[in-house]
Structure 1
Amino acid sequence: MSESPNNGADPRWTKEFTERLRQLELRPGRVIISLDQLHAEFTQVFAHRPGIPDRRVWLLDALRYAEQQGVIRLPTQKGKLWDPSGQPPLPSRVRRVAVPKPAREAWWRTRYWPPELEWLLDLETLDEAHDAFLLRVEQGLKECWFKDAAPLRHRSIQLTGDDKRLGVLLDGVLFKKGRLTPALLNCASDTLPLAHEVVGGPPVALVFENKEPYNLALAVLRALARRPYGVVAFGGGGSFQQSVRAFTDIQASELYRQRVGQPLQRIDYVGDLDWPGLAIAAQAARRAQEAGLPPVVPALGAYHAMLNALLDPRINCPEGLAVQDTKTHRRSHLTWLPEDLQKRIEPMLLNNRRVPEEMLTERSLRDWWATL
């Protein structure tokens, strides 16, 4: 639309409408403006203006002008996103064009940093949300805040004012290789110790997600003359994603050298057959690989025993147990299981069902281990 539209509209009205679309508050992450919203904004500007012979024509002209100004993008005329209920057809929705943020001054590249933070000089960009945190770290280094070890949450309050914020930052760009580390900040480990026992069998470890199956398995193994595992451990739920690294120290211990003597060949894992349980296993397997440890693999005998227990007439729950709280999940975590188990368990999971690890009993453990 030109500065002097030939439909008789005052250009000031059209510019005001365009600016309203530019400033329109949308929900976070949203860029779509519906036709109802467009009508509402148009009415605010044009409702009391005289001489509107055809409201749809004027609205369409105003939208085209807004598109020329780079504020919105109209859908293609050949598409289906047009309302044909009147003439001329109007777009059922438009997309607001994102306004690029002005370039940020790279203040961190002109600052004199202590040696531990000199990697900042190589960064092309830096999230503004990290500015205050980095300046607090700099202050802490200069004033020797990190001389004494402290819990992670204590250090988080010290550096961010929030006891959980540092835990989030640990998984972000500031803690990539060659940058910040928990050791630099002298944070005491927040990883739950890996409870375990070296039982003196072959160089294979068995880890349970939950404490009761672990206690049961340990009691049964102690009574066996021939033990199918050299180490039994309690993963502590999601803690195992971090504590799996403890197997490096376990293998270096004198007790392990005496009772097992050979490097671990693999780590068998048993957890709940649900989305959180599979996520724990998949993440632990990835971190074990990163640490140069043997693979974390499914303890197949345990999982088959858990599934078969659902068919016990005293339980009679072949479809699995109902999930009380549904959570987001990644179907890619299913690939940690072999294909036959994936096919058997996926329908349950998608139907909000699960198989708890506590389906294991002394009899099912003995039957499973008799086959190893």
Structure 2
Amino acid sequence: MTTVDLDALVLALDPEGRGGRHDIDTFATELGKLAPGAEPADVPDLVRVTLERGREAGLWSVAKATVRRGRSALPKSIQLIRTVPPGDQRRPVGVPLRPELAGWATSLDLLHTQRTVLLAVNDWLRRTNGGRVAVIPAAERAYEVLGNEKAFDSTPPAGGETLWRPGRLTFDLLRCVRVPTPLTWEPAVPVVGPPGALVCVENHATFRSLLRVLRARTTPRWAAVAWIQGRNTAPLASVPELPLRVTRFDYLGDLDAPGLEIAAAACAVVSRFGIPAGPAETLWRLLADRPSRTGTAVEPGRARDLAEWLPEAVRDRSVELLTDGRAIPQEALRFDLIDRAL
């Protein structure tokens, strides 16, 4: 099972180290950001295991009250342990600051952790003559400045909103950017370059079967096949940078609630770049006709909302599956079925 860095999770939840209560949904959201490759079906177990790891490590305590999330009963909230010393008083940084910082930071009352971040940035600006260096990934800059490559992973980064906002500390000032996870993709055509459609799937077996089918065609329906892992749609921000101009983005996922949520999110990412994005209709029609297995039942209203993204021809069938607690994984589309359909 996927594991996450507990220190990075605590930093994301509590960048100022002040402790406090956080509801389980916030916990799960931040956990998901640190485990983008986790399969949706594995998330409840990942949450439970991570809760226990953090409790044993003394990072938090868990509430006795529980809430239902799908079929799982989870603690309603966690109580993070305060890491800032109780006697830590807010006070100004008390040293001369670079011009980039002095105008807004000199008189700020800051906690120890915030002063540490500010002084480290001040020193970096001094050493780099105001940041006259190349732009690099945020994780690399975080390690250079603070000795912690995960310090800039959270939003806001280490130091919290007091320091990080427009006109104060920004990634532009520190000459760094957050970079998406590289997109896994392969061409289905012998020559990469001409514009074409891209089909994206959520499973590596389907990824390979589609490539095998498309590469056997003289004029394949899609010029390339991409693969994202679970809820990690961030790599799709790389679509405009591919060596072929993507004219259309088609998506195929699992026919269950998490799969449809991921599908809509994936298309939303790509749509931001002006690329038409939606369901791979032929493949969804084929998938909806395959045998189903036991899944998680979905409330009718939510099922209709989820199915709205799908091609009209399979919406009613999909709502029925979702409300009956059935699911069809995309692995149901074997190579031979795809080969005959395309």
TM-score normalized with structure 1 length: 0.49
| Structure 2 residues not aligned, in runs of 5+ | 1-19, 24-89
CA positional deviation for 1:270: 1.2
Question: Does structure 1 residue 276 correspond to structure 2 residue 258?
Answer: yes
Which residue does the alignment assign to 1:288?
270
Which residue does the alignment assign to 2:121?
137
Q: What SS does the aligned partner of 1:337 have?
A: coil
Q: Relative to structure 1, is the Cα distance of residues 113 and 204 closer, same or farther in structure 2, using a 3 angstrom cutoff?
A: same
Q: Relative to structure 1, is the Cα distance of residues 352 and 219 closer, same or farther in structure 2, using a 3 angstrom cutoff?
A: same
Looking at structure 1, the residues matched to 261 and 325 of structure 2 have their Cα atoms a distance apart, in angstroms, of 16
CA positional deviation for 1:360: 1.0
8 Å CA contact 1:321, 1:353 repeated in 2:
yes
Which residue does the alignment assign to 1:366?
339
Which residue does the alignment assign to 2:179?
189
Q: Relative to structure 1, is the Cα distance of residues 282 and 168 closer, same or farther in structure 2, using a 3 angstrom cutoff?
A: farther
Which residue does the alignment assign to 1:219?
212
Q: What SS does the aligned partner of 1:309 have?
A: coil
Q: Relative to structure 1, is the Cα distance of residues 274 and 113 closer, same or farther in structure 2, using a 3 angstrom cutoff?
A: farther
CA positional deviation for 1:166: 2.5
Equivalent residue letter for 1:281: A
Looking at structure 2, the residues matched to 347 and 176 of structure 1 have their Cα atoms a distance apart, in angstroms, of 47
Within a 5 Å distance, the mapping from 1:18-97 to structure 2 comes to 28=21
Pick from 235, 245, 248 the counterpart of residue 237 of structure 2: 245
Equivalent residue letter for 2:262: I
Looking at structure 1, the residues matched to 201 and 173 of structure 2 have their Cα atoms a distance apart, in angstroms, of 29
Equivalent residue letter for 1:229: W
- Larger RCO, structure (CA 8 Å, separation 6 or more): 2
Question: Does structure 1 residue 233 correspond to structure 2 residue 226?
Answer: yes
Looking at structure 1, the residues matched to 312 and 91 of structure 2 have their Cα atoms a distance apart, in angstroms, of 50
CA positional deviation for 1:216: 0.8
Equivalent residue letter for 1:168: S
CA positional deviation for 1:136: 3.7
Looking at structure 1, the residues matched to 216 and 97 of structure 2 have their Cα atoms a distance apart, in angstroms, of 64
Q: What SS does the aligned partner of 2:221 have?
A: coil
Looking at structure 2, the residues matched to 279 and 168 of structure 1 have their Cα atoms a distance apart, in angstroms, of 23
Deviations along 1:214-246, one digit per CA (max 9) or x if unpaired, are 11111111111231112222234444x222232
Looking at structure 2, the residues matched to 271 and 235 of structure 1 have their Cα atoms a distance apart, in angstroms, of 10
Which residue does the alignment assign to 1:337?
310
Which has more helix, going by share of residues? Answer: 1
Looking at structure 2, the residues matched to 336 and 118 of structure 1 have their Cα atoms a distance apart, in angstroms, of 51
Q: Relative to structure 1, is the Cα distance of residues 165 and 284 closer, same or farther in structure 2, using a 3 angstrom cutoff?
A: farther
Equivalent residue letter for 1:228: R
CA positional deviation for 1:165: 4.8
TM-score normalized with structure 2 length: 0.53
Aligned residues: 241
Q: What SS does the aligned partner of 2:171 have?
A: coil
- The structure with the larger Rg is 1
8 Å CA contact 1:114, 1:138 repeated in 2:
no
Which residue does the alignment assign to 2:70?
none
Looking at structure 2, the residues matched to 357 and 363 of structure 1 have their Cα atoms a distance apart, in angstroms, of 14
Deviations along 1:155-199, one digit per CA (max 9) or x if unpaired, are 556666765453222699677778623893546835124322151
Q: What SS does the aligned partner of 1:167 have?
A: coil
Pick from 155, 167, 192 the counterpart of residue 153 of structure 2: 167
Q: What SS does the aligned partner of 2:213 have?
A: helix
State the identity as a percent: 24
Within a 5 Å distance, the mapping from 1:144-155 to structure 2 comes to 144=128, 153=139, 155=141
Q: What SS does the aligned partner of 2:339 have?
A: helix
RMSD: 4.7
Deviations along 1:250-272, one digit per CA (max 9) or x if unpaired, are 2xx3xx4xxxxxx5331001122
Q: What SS does the aligned partner of 1:184 have?
A: coil
Looking at structure 2, the residues matched to 333 and 114 of structure 1 have their Cα atoms a distance apart, in angstroms, of 51
Q: Which stretch of structure 1 is more off in the superposition, 207-216 or 277-286?
A: 277-286
Q: What SS does the aligned partner of 2:181 have?
A: coil
Looking at structure 2, the residues matched to 364 and 119 of structure 1 have their Cα atoms a distance apart, in angstroms, of 66
Looking at structure 2, the residues matched to 188 and 298 of structure 1 have their Cα atoms a distance apart, in angstroms, of 29
Deviations along 1:118-142, one digit per CA (max 9) or x if unpaired, are 8968xx9x99986654554344333
Looking at structure 2, the residues matched to 144 and 168 of structure 1 have their Cα atoms a distance apart, in angstroms, of 25
Looking at structure 2, the residues matched to 150 and 202 of structure 1 have their Cα atoms a distance apart, in angstroms, of 30
| Structure 1 residues not aligned, in runs of 5+ | 1-26, 31-104, 257-262, 311-316
8 Å CA contact 1:151, 1:190 repeated in 2:
no
8 Å CA contact 1:202, 1:228 repeated in 2:
no
Question: Does structure 1 residue 180 correspond to structure 2 residue 161?
Answer: no
Deviations along 1:309-359, one digit per CA (max 9) or x if unpaired, are 11xxxxxx3xx3336xx9xxx876654334554543345445654321111
